[in-house]
Amino acid sequence: MPKKATPAAPQKEQFQETPMNFDVRIYPVKIDGALKANASVNINEFFAVSKVRILEGTKGMFVSMPQYKGQNGEYKDICFPCTKEAKKAFDKAVLSAYEQTMAQKQSKEQMQEAPEQEQSQQMAGM
């Protein structure tokens, strides 16, 4: 009697860990308060997360993931890194991009102020 073929167990796809590459875009907010900027993050050119918030708390700057308000009034993250390492890498990329954006913005403002100061000094010397 021929043997019946037993169905093969589904094989799990092998996951090869690749380094995470974050492309972060920062959108500074011009209002006073805890919210300092919004961000969108493209992860390895495969997955994008928008409405990431950069906030200033009592312990310093931190990253808040997109959230929704549940029926019980509690806020829940819509998406989130699954490991501590991934969360740390995500936060570091976002906060580094924020610091870089703010430094560039400050540098531009200083460069714009310098010609104005020169002009006023020249006018005063006349």
Q: What is the pLDDT of residues 55-90, one digit of tens each?
A: 999 999 999 999 999 999 999 999 999 999 999 999
Token couple for 32? 């006073």
Q: Per-residue confidence at 119, pLDDT binned at 50, 70, 90?
A: low
Residue among 76, 93, 84, 69 at smallest CA distance from 21? 93
pLDDT, tens digit, 9 for 90 and up, residues 88-109: 999 999 999 999 999 998 888 8
Q: How far is Cα 121 from Cα 109, in angstroms, rounded to an integer?
A: 19
Q: What is the pLDDT of residue 66?
A: 97
Domains of the chain in sequence order: 22-110 (3.30.1120.40)
pLDDT, tens digit, 9 for 90 and up, residues 18-56: 788 999 999 999 888 999 999 999 999 999 999 999 999
Residue among 43, 46, 38 at smallest CA distance from 86? 43
